[in-house]
Chains A and B, each alone.
Chain A
């Protein structure tokens, strides 16, 4: 019997093409909006997570002072010394590596081109605590590090500005008063989201930077890699205790350094994008409900308009349930059709929007399946009332209906 009903419903939809199209427009837009919004939301979240993963998850950044800025007045909190680095590396459980950094700025010159950039003195541990592969060349050798040789690994921005995008490894340029050999070029990392262009950097052994640029053995910043098996917050607490002791901070006084957990930022940003996605999806879902009400309205009008037809069907011998099912199947087929068109529309929107939003293109099977099922359910829910009305018509009155 269901096959029969299906046939009747399809015939009826085919007979009223324009009306059918107008009926499903709401569902098309609703499903399209929901799927596009949730998919783009997920893509944005993924992109944010990816950016943060580039900073290195399970990485703690330790700086002197409170928060990001120096803030307030008072004496400048002291930098760290190399012994702090060793202490953290050796005394704290769960620490995989500690990369000290000494920073300076200088102008780099190569064959008439000059470029002002950041000099970052560190050790090869820098590349252990965070994933930042080289595009070409090599890292420092232990001998170069120990001797503080003037060898450089340059960021891509420096390469394109100083070497005009050409091959840089093996060339020698001047930075400040130092003549430096390029031994490697970093892969492109892009904007950090906060903190500007990460590729505008020249990395040298920390000993070289301390001796030739900063003039002290102070360490400006430490990057601490944390073993996956350990909780970063626990490691963070242990480091805090250790540093307070080493920096002789008495109980009751505030830390004069801060430890920044990239995982926290990741969680916060992910939470924010998820919330925003939820809100936008909720708005889209409302449009889906409105679309369902649209289906109900048109189906009710359709029942009234087709009263005579229903009378004929009843006179011919259709039982009430067959009429009910026909209208119900009609509305389900319509809303599912609307759902499918909506899904296609969403794919178009996603294909257009992802490059504009600079997020990766994604296809989420789950979202699409759920949206399709919901469109079918809308057909059931909003089609039932009109269908029952049709089925309960009195055949004599229906046949007389003008």
Chain B
């Protein structure tokens, strides 16, 4: 996969990440090279400490590399400051977490609306877009339920609705099925697959379950702070 496309959505070259300083310094990434194509469905796997979470944080623009280059849509991200990265996340990225991370005591609709509030959309536009996103995840009728009134699978679907409500280029999912039973997990994976296929959203997913990784089009294995190998999954994920 490396350097096959001259203009990938995401390109990492020699990315390193060091935590701490001096004797206690820990090198989490040791020079990662990775390209991700538009419209791909990528599963990232690897044992803990292999650098997959660090890589995801960098790809999600939540963290910056210590060295190397990270191009997003051809633009270097490592030079951006905190707020510029926040604006980049707001515009192009959607996040789904293992623990759902919905706002408590807040209706599904308001949770999904949240990214639009930060984008400054007006009330009508917010409501419309949020209901459309809830419809996509099959929870339109549950819009007024708070997280406490929803099952785990439903909460994760609300979280996915929140991630896609802004029509992002990339959806980053950090072990999205980690807290769900296998039946719900398959539902979530099917949902991600359909978003990838129908809406053309590039999906990056960290998982340690091979069954879930199998839904992806590309599977990247990490080991000791480096990309170990890249294999094809069974998923459809068609690069645009």
- Give Cα distance in the complex from A3 to B229, angstroms: 49
Is B169 among interface residues, defined by CB-CB distance under 8 A? Answer: no
Is A322 among interface residues, defined by CB-CB distance under 8 A? Answer: yes
Per-residue CB contact flags for chain B residues 79-97 toward chain A (1 = under 8 Å, else 0) read 0001100111111010101
Is A83 among interface residues, defined by CB-CB distance under 8 A? Answer: no
Which residues of chain A have C-beta atoms less than 8 A from B97's C-beta? 399
Q: Which chain B residue lies CB-closest to A16?
A: B105
Given contacts A308-B101, A313-B114, A318 and B86 within 8 Å (CB-CB): yes
Which residues of chain A have C-beta atoms less than 8 A from B89's C-beta? 315-317
Interface-located stretch among A7-15, A121-129, A208-216: A7-15
User: CB distance B115 to A396 under 8 Å?
Assistant: no
> How close is B14's CB to chain A, nearest CB, in angstroms?
22
Q: Which chain A residue lies CB-closest to B90?
A: A317
Which residues of chain A have C-beta atoms less than 8 A from B18's C-beta? none
> How close is A20's CB to chain B, nearest CB, in angstroms?
13
- Give Cα distance in the complex from A7 to B121, angstroms: 12
Which residues of chain A have C-beta atoms less than 8 A from B95's C-beta? 315-316
Is B120 among interface residues, defined by CB-CB distance under 8 A? Answer: yes
Find B114's partner among A1, A16, A311, A316 (CB 8 Å cutoff): A316
User: CB distance A11 to B106 under 8 Å?
Assistant: yes
The 10 A-B pairs at the shortest CB distance, nearest first, are namely A317-B90, A319-B83, A317-B89, A319-B86, A15-B105, A316-B115, A315-B95, A312-B101, A395-B62, A396-B62
User: CB distance B120 to A1 under 8 Å?
Assistant: yes
> How close is A205's CB to chain B, nearest CB, in angstroms?
84
Which residues of chain B have C-beta atoms less than 8 A from A16's C-beta? 105
User: CB distance B101 to A320 under 8 Å?
Assistant: no
Given contacts A11-B106, A15-B105, A399-B97, A320 and B83 within 8 Å (CB-CB): yes
Q: How many residues of A are counted as interface, with CB atoms below 8 angstroms from the partner's CB atoms? A: 24
For chain B, give the interface size range: 20 to 34
Is A314 among interface residues, defined by CB-CB distance under 8 A? Answer: yes
User: CB distance B118 to A316 under 8 Å?
Assistant: yes
Q: Which chain B residue lies CB-closest to A323?
A: B86
> How close is B168's CB to chain A, nearest CB, in angstroms?
10
Which residues of chain A have C-beta atoms less than 8 A from B119's C-beta? 317
Is A145 among interface residues, defined by CB-CB distance under 8 A? Answer: no
User: CB distance A320 to B90 under 8 Å?
Assistant: no
Which residues of chain A have C-beta atoms less than 8 A from B62's C-beta? 314-315, 395-396
Q: Which residues of B contact A (CB under 8 A)?
A: 57, 60, 62-63, 82-83, 86-91, 93, 95, 97, 101-106, 110, 114-115, 117-120, 162
> How close is B197's CB to chain A, nearest CB, in angstroms?
25
User: CB distance A4 to B103 under 8 Å?
Assistant: no
Q: Which chain B residue lies CB-closest to A8?
A: B117
- Give Cα distance in the complex from A8 to B87, angstroms: 18
Q: How many A-B residue pairs have CB under 8 A?
A: 63
- Give Cα distance in the complex from A312 to B62, angstroms: 11
- Give Cα distance in the complex from A146 to B87, angstroms: 99
Given contacts A309-B103, A312-B103, A315-B95, A320 and B86 within 8 Å (CB-CB): yes
> How close is A309's CB to chain B, nearest CB, in angstroms?
6
- Give Cα distance in the complex from A312 to B117, angstroms: 13
Is A228 among interface residues, defined by CB-CB distance under 8 A? Answer: no
Which residues of chain A have C-beta atoms less than 8 A from B63's C-beta? 396
Majority secondary structure of chain A interface residues (helix, strand, loop or mixed)? helix
Q: Which chain A residue lies CB-closest to B84?
A: A319
Is A321 among interface residues, defined by CB-CB distance under 8 A? Answer: yes
Q: Which chain A residue lies CB-closest to B97?
A: A399
Per-residue CB contact flags for chain A residues 374-402 toward chain B (1 = under 8 Å, else 0) read 00000000000000000000011001000
User: CB distance A311 to B101 under 8 Å?
Assistant: yes
Which residues of chain A have C-beta atoms less than 8 A from B87's C-beta? 317, 319
User: CB distance A316 to B90 under 8 Å?
Assistant: yes
> How close is B70's CB to chain A, nearest CB, in angstroms?
16
Which residues of chain B have C-beta atoms less than 8 A from A320's C-beta? 82-83, 86
User: CB distance B115 to A317 under 8 Å?
Assistant: yes
Which residues of chain A have C-beta atoms less than 8 A from B86's C-beta? 314, 317-320
| 17 A/B residue pairs, CB under 8 Å, sorted by A | A4-B117, A15-B103, A15-B104, A15-B106, A309-B103, A312-B102, A314-B62, A315-B95, A316-B90, A316-B162, A317-B86, A317-B87, A317-B88, A317-B91, A317-B118, A320-B86, A399-B97
Per-residue CB contact flags for chain A residues 272-303 toward chain B (1 = under 8 Å, else 0) read 00000000000000000000000000000000
> How close is A99's CB to chain B, nearest CB, in angstroms?
76
Find A315's partner among B60, B83, B91 (CB 8 Å cutoff): B60
Q: Which chain A residue lies CB-closest to B172?
A: A315
Which residues of chain A have C-beta atoms less than 8 A from B57's C-beta? 396
Q: Which chain B residue lies CB-closest to A3?
A: B120
User: CB distance A399 to B106 under 8 Å?
Assistant: no
- Give Cα distance in the complex from A1 to B90, angstroms: 15
Q: Which chain A residue lies CB-closest to B122?
A: A3
> How close is A5's CB to chain B, nearest CB, in angstroms?
9
Which residues of chain B have C-beta atoms less than 8 A from A8's C-beta? 117
Q: Which chain B residue lies CB-closest to A321?
A: B83
Q: Which chain A residue lies CB-closest to B93?
A: A317
Which residues of chain B have C-beta atoms less than 8 A from A1's C-beta? 120
- Give Cα distance in the complex from A395 to B83, angstroms: 12
> How close is A402's CB to chain B, nearest CB, in angstroms?
10
